[in-house]
Structure 1
Amino acid sequence: MTSLKAEWDQGRSLAILNCEVIDFWHEHQTAEELKRQQNVYDNMRKQNDFFSQGNLIPREACPHVFKYRYRDADGIHIGTCQDWETEATFLKRRHDLGSEAAALEWMVKKFGVEFPLKGMVLAMGTHRRWEGQWLINGVLRANPLTQMTML
């Protein structure tokens, strides 16, 4: 799907968006934002439900948010990646590479250069608190679809 507006007009709140990635970058979270996110994770781990399986919730809030500038059929948009797996990838790369700067460089190369070149889509969703605003719920590496011929 290539138009978030068309999906919204059809009453849909989830979509896999095939778009052009223009840019990918990171922004440092403030101490207040980081603490708020850590509290969310801590509270989720305390719940006695699906999330009580500790390994499903990150132990550490990510000190960065990751953003995309992308173009769909409706124009250019900027979105923040809400996907905890992207944050977990950064935390793992920071551990493996031994440096925050090296991990951020790796993230920009992987999510901002390599994935767009090889093919990717964005898993998008809306939230009742922000009517009509689409959020990036995930980044999916996917080979581009080629048009099949009739013969």
Structure 2
Amino acid sequence: MYVPPHFAVPDRNTLLDLIERHPLGILVTHSKGTFDANHIPFELDRSKGDKGVLNCHVARKNRVWEEVANGDEVLVIFRAADAYISPNWYPSKHEFHKQVPTWNYLVVHAHGRITVRDDERHVRRNVAKLTHMHEASQPGPVEDGRRAEGLH
């Protein structure tokens, strides 16, 4: 991704914060000569490695987990705000006529290698963690597929 130097964000914590605030990532894979993109909620575990580890869960019917191999390179894109910038907004445009339209956006591209885990214990723990994280702000959050109010 081209990033003009004056827009680069070198602070890793700022990038990790964006991932945590906007956890719906686009998992980009390449297998059998074809690119694929899946929109998946992720959980960032900052405690693992120097850059953290992204965890997610895909539905069993989503073939991506069978089409990738452990160790394959992947890209996950996290998007936050974006906006069109009109050249008319620049006062100098009216004098010099040299500004062009552009688009401002906040995005993180996370590159790494994928690990597929299909053991029941890991999957259940991961789904519970993701559910808890995304349900935390909901009234009567769901926990492991059941309402927290005691409806079992």
TM-score, scaled to structure 1:
0.25
- Which one has a bigger Cα radius of gyration? 2
Higher relative contact order (CA 8 A, sep 6+): 1
Question: Could you say which structure has the higher helix fraction?
Answer: 1
TM-score, scaled to structure 2:
0.25
